[in-house]
Structure 1
Amino acid sequence: MVAPRILIGGGGGDEGKLRDEESAKMEDSPSSKKTRLDGRFPLTRWELAVAMAVFSVFVIGLFFIFMKMPAAEYGKIKLPRTISDLRLLKDNLAIYANDHPAQFILGYCSVYIFMQTFMIPGTIFMSLLAGALFGVFRGLLLVVFNATAGASCCYFLSKLIGRPIVNWLWPEKLRFFQGEIAKRREKLMNYMLFLRVTPTLPNLFINLASPIVDIPFHVFFLATIVGLIPASFITVRAGLALGELKSVKDLYDFKTLAVLFLIGSVIICPAILKRKRTYE
């Protein structure tokens, strides 16, 4: 299901346009082109080396964590890609999670944060698994913690090497986002909460683009940890009834999306009302 896109507000954005022009000039400069690995590849050799170094650190950390975990039938454990895969994984992990709860939670959190940091698809299955194994309350705590930690890691990784990637993948969307942020500096928290609660912009894009458009980390962090609660609750709660769930698309039907946008509208209302008073 493709999330609807809502454009809020209009005008402004001069500061964002100037930044775009400056970055475009830098990217078109001969010195920049010489350091690119390929005319179409967005990263320089240094940026690629940084990305590989960070990735290697995470992989080594995961390796040592799983080496220290009690033995299990790892042949039956794999990242789920369908609801059927998830049901089998849940059955295989239920006993292990009961026998070794601390080790299992450490492994679960490590995999979730790794996937979220490096934008690996499938975290929604990890969220459903949390509900199926731990129930709504503990599952929600786990999902919000891991999603926030992974998004924060992605934020700092993007701060290092994200600008060329985002400019390469989503140039138009980045310009739109930059303009909206420039107009909402005074009520930035409300706007970021709105984006996190509603599917207006993908969370992946928000994680990568936020440091590029100069969203302070404390605003990003608070908006993430609070704004992800409604959607995470829906997903974790659905994990309790995996047998009835046919597809991931069933999670976000029209009614669910309407509720999320209603919550988001309540959040952003103070900013809209303040702007109206200012122009009156």
Structure 2
Amino acid sequence: MAAPRNLTGDAGRLLRDEENAKEDDSPTGKRPKFERFPLNRWEFSAAVGVFLVFSTGLFCIYLTMPAAEYGKIKLPRTISDIRMLKDHLASYAKNHPAQFILGYCSTYIFMQTFMIPGTIFMSLLAGALFGVIRGILLVVFNATAGASSCYFLSKLIGRPIVSWMWPEKLRFFQAEIAKHRDKLLNYMLFLRITPTLPNLFINLASPIVDIPFHIFFLATLIGLVPASYITVRAGLALGDLKSVKDLYDFKTLSVLFLIGFVSICPTLLKRKRIYE
């Protein structure tokens, strides 16, 4: 009599498993893609620790600014925010250039390190306050420093995050890096100059696919100059700018892809010789 009970129990278990599988396959029964947080306890603690260190440093820098300026400082999210910041901070940037640049750089690097959107507005602000030459130098320095900081943060905890958020894009990027390994700097320049892949993804994925830091640094330093020039120059004419989308029209994108194509030409020519 025991055997039939066991058989019945097994059959019932199998039936329940099949029903659960059908529920999981149904549109309402599918598990959310991001149900499981990708970081383990140590990785999460490391991320929080790094964030707290950066936040404390940023807070201490802001304490050096005159109290009257606190109410005028906010992270820009729109073109109108940039216009107001320019009006509020123009005299302060002129009278206290060292303090302002320190606060600007620390904010930009902080946002770039922790993937906080809005650095394009900070670039517009640099153009509005400092002009083209100084604005480009400031933006390229901060973008490179922030990207480098993000690179090392990703080296510490980035693999599970990127694999969790962009698994297919990561596999594609890894395959492309393997193809262009012999001319990696040229390929990275192409990626930095053109909007082929988002800069955020490149910053996070580069250490995961074993791009050496010196290649990453040089490609970032040089490759961000064209886009920085476009953004900083647009900051000089905020009154004519209605949206961030106006920055990258067809003509601008064509120029960026042309520059990017020139940078990757050595790779394409070498591959052609190999196949010949």
Q: TM over 0.5, yes or no?
A: yes
Q: Could you list the runs of 4 or more consecutive aligned residues of structure 1 that deviate by over 2 angstroms after TM superposition?
A: 69-73
2:236 partner letter: L
Name the counterpart of 1:278: 274
Give the Cα separation in 1 of the matches to 2:228 and 2:68.
29
Name the counterpart of 2:219: 223
* 1:125 correspondence with 2:112: no
Q: Which of 187, 190, 194 is the matching residue for 1:191?
A: 187
Q: RCO higher in 1 or 2 (8 Å CA, sep ≥ 6)?
A: 1
Give the Cα separation in 2 of the matches to 1:73 and 1:50.
33
1:81 partner letter: R
Name the counterpart of 1:78: 74
Q: Give the superposition deviation at 1:76.
A: 2.2
Q: Which of 196, 199, 203 is the matching residue for 1:200?
A: 196
Alignment of 1:173-192 (within 5 A): 173-192=169-188
Q: Which of 82, 102, 107 is the matching residue for 1:106?
A: 102
Give the Cα separation in 1 of the matches to 2:210 and 2:254.
30
Instruction: Tell me how large the CA RMSD over aligned residues is.
Output: 1.0
* 1:67 correspondence with 2:63: yes
Give the Cα separation in 2 of the matches to 1:79 and 1:72.
17
Q: Which of 159, 162, 185 is the matching residue for 1:166?
A: 162
Q: Give the superposition deviation at 1:67.
A: 1.0
1:208 partner letter: L
Name the counterpart of 1:42: 38
Q: Give the superposition deviation at 1:39.
A: 5.6
Name the counterpart of 1:240: 236
1:191 partner letter: Y
2:202 partner letter: I
Alignment of 1:2-17 (within 5 A): none
Give the Cα separation in 1 of the matches to 2:57 and 2:73.
19
Give the Cα separation in 1 of the matches to 2:233 and 2:213.
29
TM-score where L is the length of structure 2: 0.87
Give the Cα separation in 2 of the matches to 1:113 and 1:87.
22
* 1:136 correspondence with 2:132: yes
Unaligned runs of 5+ in 2: 1-33
What is the SS of the residue equivalent to 2:237? helix
Q: Which of 242, 256, 259 is the matching residue for 2:255?
A: 259
What is the SS of the residue equivalent to 2:155? helix
Q: Give the superposition deviation at 1:80.
A: 1.2
Name the counterpart of 1:9: none
Could you list the per-position Cα deviations for residues 225-256 of structure 1 after superposition, in whole angstroms to 9, with x for gaps in the alignment? 00000000000000000011000000000000
Name the counterpart of 2:84: 88
Q: Give the superposition deviation at 1:127.
A: 0.1
Structure with larger Rg: 2
Bigger shift: residues 75-84 or 105-114: 75-84
Give the Cα separation in 1 of the matches to 2:183 and 2:72.
49
Q: Give the superposition deviation at 1:73.
A: 3.0
1:162 partner letter: G
TM-score where L is the length of structure 1: 0.86
1:232 partner letter: S
Q: Give the superposition deviation at 1:85.
A: 1.1
